Chain A
Amino acid sequence: MNFELNGVGVYFEAPATMTLLDMLRVELGVKSVKKGCEQGECGACTVLVDGYPMTSCLILAPQVEGRHVCTVEGLVDNPLMKELQEAFMENGAVQCGFCTPGMLLSAYALLSDNRNPTEEEIKTAIEGNMCRCTGYVAIIEAILDAAERIAPD
């Protein structure tokens, strides 16, 4: 099976019973994709498939044939992701870090579509990402802060 991972073509023979999460994290070593609930509830395994956030634990690996899969590793040089990461650090939006890659991808997808989100829109965008450390307030503030940073002047 061929697919694109963070902009690079990948060939991998994935069995039907392998989730996208296991293929990425266990087989291909993409460690930002976290294994949490494995039921689509916690959002720690969130990846972007053709730009849309999805939980990789609910996707069977062969289903991404020909698709573009993106994780935070693929966005290290992306200006929007850089602003988000800095805003997360400066606003205390990271504690244990387990939810952070998924949270960043959900925030990235939101800000890619909507440069000036309301607090309510931010809450909606991250409703599928559980954080058990920060209580969300710092994360929401970080995303608002990142939106401000990317605003034209």
Chain B
Amino acid sequence: MKPFTGFDLLRPPTLVGVLEMMSTLELATPIAGGTDIVPLFRDLGSKPVHLIDLGLIEELNGVEEEDGKIFIGPTTTHSQILASKVIEDVAPALHDAARWIGSVQIRNRGTIGGNLCNASPAADSAPPLLVHDAEAHICSLEEGHWIPLQEFFKGPKMTVLEPNEILAGLRFPVVKGAGSSFQRIGRRKGFTLSVVNAAVYVEKDGEKLKEVRIALGSVAPTPIRTPSVENMIRGKNMGEDLVEAAAAACAEVAKPIDDVRGTAEYRKDMTAVLVKRAMREAWRRTGGDL
């Protein structure tokens, strides 16, 4: 295959160094695992790109629990997420999603921040984070601020990040007794992109759905939450009828397209199937019967 050309690789040892380069260099692009972007380097334009490697910045890597929140560094690999007991306990949907991203080799290299910044509508990390009400830390040399992850995605392969900004962290609240589930359908079981994916988060109060959040992937230009469906079922008694109603409503909210991985019609139908599976599993994880 043709060799790579048109970029250099800078490996700053500090976060400030990264942000300085991001704000001063033209066409600066952060790189972490590189699993999504390295294959694209065969077709770079004529202007040289400066790749800024985040791999040496320890403060951008790892999972921590602090003040009732989980913090995840953007260069945390999918394998690290999978190995994290605290993620498995607090956000089982995110743990399950990490299991199905890529292969062992990709999970050892690819990162959660890269998965989000690549902004694929099918990104498996996105629905679990969306239902856990995650926020994204946006940083430039001048300032940093947190935004709801929902506002991070702008379209296929597009995020809110300005050329001088990076995704510097993720956080979501620890809620005792909550349950979540991630479900996906691919063209085969392992090492494949999702044709559709979904995540559901629930808090239980007796037989009632005290809180419920649903996110869908690969059925819109970005991963989406479904507030209309959530408002319809929040506070109601959990049961098969409610699951059926929520699934049907989600299939209506889904506005997928036909592509090489599946048809729009198939995606709509499977959205309903995945929402049902995810609702039931999330509910069971709170100790509920279904």
A residues whose Cβ falls under 8 Å from a Cβ of B:
16-19, 22, 38-41, 43, 46, 49, 52-55, 57-60, 62-63, 65, 106, 109, 123-125, 127-129
Give chain B interface residues in 19-35, CB to chain A under 8 Å: 31, 33-35
| B190 close to chain A: CB less than 8 A | yes
Q: Which of A18, A22, A60, A109 contacts B34 (CB 8 A)?
A: A60
Q: Check B7–A16 contact: CB distance below 8 A.
A: yes
Interchain nearest-CB distance for A58 vs B (Å): 5
* Chain A residues with CB under 8 A of B104: 53, 106, 109, 124-125, 127-128
User: CA of A49 to CA of B109 in the docked complex: distance in angstroms?
Assistant: 10
B2, closest chain A residue (CB): A38
Contacts of A53 in B (CB 8 A): 104-105, 108
User: Which B26-47 residues have a C-beta within 8 angstroms of A?
Assistant: 31, 33-35, 38-39, 41
B162 → A minimal CB distance (Å)? 24
Q: How far is the CB of A52 from chain B (nearest CB, A)?
A: 4
The contact size tier of chain B is 20 to 34
Bound: A65/B11 CA distance, A: 10
B38 CB contacts on chain A under 8 angstroms: 19, 40, 57-60
Complex Cα–Cα for A16 and B103 (A): 25
Measured in the bound complex, the distance between the Cα atoms of B269 and A62 in whole Å is 46
Bound Cα distance A106, B4 (Å): 27
List the A side residues contacting B51 at CB < 8 Å: 16, 60
The answer to whether A128 touches B4, judged by C-beta atoms less than 8 angstroms apart, is no
Q: Which residues of B contact A (CB under 8 A)?
A: 1, 3-9, 11, 31, 33-35, 38-39, 41, 51, 53, 55, 79, 102-106, 108-109, 190-191
How far is the CB of A14 from the nearest CB of chain B, in Å? 10
A17 in complex: contacting residue of B4, B33, B103, B108, CB < 8 Å = B4
Q: Which residues of B contact A59 (CB under 8 A)?
A: 34, 38, 109
Given A17-B5, A127-B190, CB of A58 within 8 Å of CB of B34:
yes
B190 touches A55 (CB 8 A): no
A29 to chain B, nearest CB (A): 18
* Contact indicator A63/B105 (Cβ below 8 Å): no
Specify which chain B residues have a CB less than 8 angstroms from the CB of A125 in the assembled complex.
Answer: 104
Further contacts, 16 of them, CB under 8 A, given A59-B34, A59-B38:
A16-B51, A17-B5, A18-B4, A38-B39, A39-B39, A43-B103, A52-B79, A53-B104, A55-B105, A60-B34, A60-B38, A60-B51, A123-B190, A125-B104, A128-B104, A129-B103
- Given A17-B5, A60-B9: A127 in contact with B35 (beta carbons within 8 A): no
* Nearest CB in chain B: distance from A135 CB, A: 15
Interface centre among B7, B33, B35, B109 (most CB of A within 10 A): B109
Nearest A residue to B37 via CB reads: A58
Residues of B within 8 A of A127 (CB): 103-104, 190-191
Query: By CB atoms of chain A within 10 A, which of B7, B31, B102, B104 has the most?
Result: B104
Q: Which residues does chain A contribute within 8 Å of B190, judged by CB atoms?
A: 123-124, 127
B153 to A: closest C-beta gap in Å? 24
CA distance A129 to B7 in the complex (A): 29
Residues of A within 8 A of B108 (CB): 49, 52-54
Please state if A54 and B105 are interface contacts (CB–CB under 8 Å): yes
CA distance A13 to B174 in the complex (A): 47
A67 CB, nearest partner CB in chain B, Å: 10
Q: Specify which chain A residues have a CB less than 8 angstroms from the CB of B106 in the assembled complex.
A: 40, 55, 128
Q: Taking CB as reference atom, which chain B residue is nearest A65?
A: B11
Nearest CB of chain B from residue A137's CB, rounded to whole Å: 16
CA distance A46 to B108 in the complex (A): 11
Complex-state Cα separation, A43 to B103, whole angstroms: 9
Interface contact A43-B11, CB-CB below 8 Å:
no
B39 touches A40 (CB 8 A): yes
A92 to chain B, nearest CB (A): 23
Cα A129 to Cα B53 with chains together (Å): 27
Contacts of A52 in B (CB 8 A): 79, 108
